[in-house]
Amino acid sequence: MVFNSAQFLLFLPLAALGYFAVPQKARRVWLLLACYFFYFCWNPAHLPVLAFVTAVGYLGGRLLDGKPRKGALAAGIVLALAPLIGFKYLGFLTKSVLSVLAHVGVQIAPPAFDFLLPMGISFYTLQAVGYLVDTYRGERAEHDLLDFALFISFFPQMVSGPISRGKSLLPQLSAAKRPTFDDLRDGVLLLIWGYFLKIVVADRAALFVAAVYAPESEYEGWFYIIATLLFALQLYGDFGGCSVMAMGTAKILGIDLIDNFNAPYFSQSIAEFWRRWHISLSTWFRDYLYIPLGGNRRGALRKDFNVLVTFAVSGLWHGAQWNYMAWGFLNGLYQIIGAALLPLRKAVIRALHIDPQSRLHKLLRVVVTFALFNSTLVFFRAYRLMDAVRILISMATVHNFEIFTDGSLFACGMDAFNFALLGVYALVMLAVDVCKYKQIKVRSVIEKQHWLCQVAVVVLGVLAVLLLGVYGPGFEASNFIYSQF
C-alpha cells in the first residue's frame, strides 16, 4: 500500500477518523495498529524486521541513557544496520568480491540472492541509528516502548521518509493531540499538491524517460539530453511529491514532519543544492558521518576526503550498485572543485566588474548548478555504471539536432501534446518554488481566503489530479522512485 493507491485512499480516512474518535489514552495504540497494518499490507513477512530494529533502538537507547558507552553504541548501530546490510547489500558485496577473485583467476559460482527489500528499511534504519547516536550524545532516551515503536513505524514516513529526529517527532507522538480543522485543511492541501507532483507531473515525464533510458536502448545524443532533463523533473515531482504526501498525511493526524525540499533547483551551487534537496538525508549524513569523520576541522585535504566519503556512502545508500556510488562521488567532487575555484571566480568577477548580486549573475549560477546536477543524474538513472559512461559519451559526441524537426522526439512514449502539457505543469511547479524561495507560503495565502474560495481550491485541485494525471494500463501505484531505496 502506497500513497497513490486506491487502498491508501480508503485506509487514510479510516485511520484518521479512528485517531480522532478514540479517547486520548487509546489514540497511540490505535495509531500503532494502523502503522503495523500499513506495513502488513506491503509484506507481512517483513514485520519481524521492523520489530527487530524497533527493539534494538529502544533497548540501545535505554542502555545509553545517561551512560554514554562507546561499546553499547557500536553494538546498537551494528545490530540496527544488520537487516539493511543483509537485505540490500549482501548480494552486491558478494558479487563484488567474487568479481575481484575472478580477475586473479579464482572462479566461484555466485550464490543466488533474491530478497525483496522491506519497505522503508533504508529510512527507518537511519532513523534508529540517529536516535542511538543522539542518546549517546546526551539526549534523553524514550522510556515508553509504545511511543518509540510509533517513532520507528510511523506510516506517513514509511514509503520514502523523511528521516525524523527523536527530539522533533517523539514529543508529538507522545502528546497524541486531537487533530484540528486547520490540521485537516493543511493536510488535504498538501496531499493534493503531492498527488499533482507525482501523478500529473512525474508520471507524465516518466513516459519519455523510461523509453529513452530503457535497457538496450538505441537512442543517442539529444534524446538522452532531453530525457535527462525530464528525469530531473520526474525525480523532483516523484520524490518531492511523495515527501509532500507524507507531510500531508501526518498533518491530518495533527503531526508535523520536516519539509524535505526547499526550492532545490534555484540553488546557486552544488553545496547549496544539497542544503535544499532531501534535507533530512543530507543533514543525517552531515551529523552522523561527515562531522564524526572530522568535518572541516582537520585541514582542507581531510575536509575534501570527508566530503567524498560522505557522498559516496550517500550514493551507496540509494542503491547497491556502482553507478549510485559514482553518482554520490561526483556530487561530492563537484563541491570540492567549486570550493577550490571560488578564489578564481571572485577574481574574475572583480576584474570584469560583474555585480555578483545581479539577477543575471545569479541566474547563470542557477543554470550551471542545474546542468551539473543533471550530469550526475545520468549515473542515477542508468542501469549500470558503463551504461552511464556510454550515455555521457553519446551526449557529448552525437549532435542529432534533426530530432527537433523530424518528429522523432514525439515518438518516444510522449507526443507533442503531452510535451506541451508537461511544459505547463513544469511552469506551475516553478511558480510554487518561486514562492517558496521567496518564503511565501502558498497554503497560508489560501487559508486567508473566504471559505468558499478554499473549497474551490480543493475541488479544482482534486479535479486536476483526476483529469490530468497519467493513468491507464501502464500505471503502477507502487512506482515511487525512492520506495525502492
Give catalytic residues, as residue numbers: 318
Give the C-alpha separation, 323 to 216, whole Å: 17
Instruction: Report the candidate in 283, 282, 286, 265 with the shortest Cα–Cα distance to residue 373.
Output: 265
- As given in the structure block, the three cell numbers for residue 480 are 515511487
- As given in the structure block, the three cell numbers for residue 90 are 549482501
Burial class (CB in 10 A: 0-12, 13-18, 19+), 6: exposed
Give the C-alpha separation, 224 to 214, whole Å: 11
DSSP 65: T
Phi, psi of 278 (to 5 degrees): 45, 55
Instruction: Report the candidate in 29, 84, 66 with the shortest Cα–Cα distance to residue 143.
Output: 66
Burial class (CB in 10 A: 0-12, 13-18, 19+), 89: middle
Amino acid in position 127 = Q
E-only strand ranges, 185-324: none
Contact 148, 61 (CB under 8 A): yes
Instruction: Report the candidate in 217, 193, 102, 218 with the shortest Cα–Cα distance to residue 465.
Output: 193
Contact 461, 192 (CB under 8 A): yes
Contact 202, 238 (CB under 8 A): yes
Give the C-alpha separation, 267 to 276, whole Å: 8
- Residue count of the chain: 485
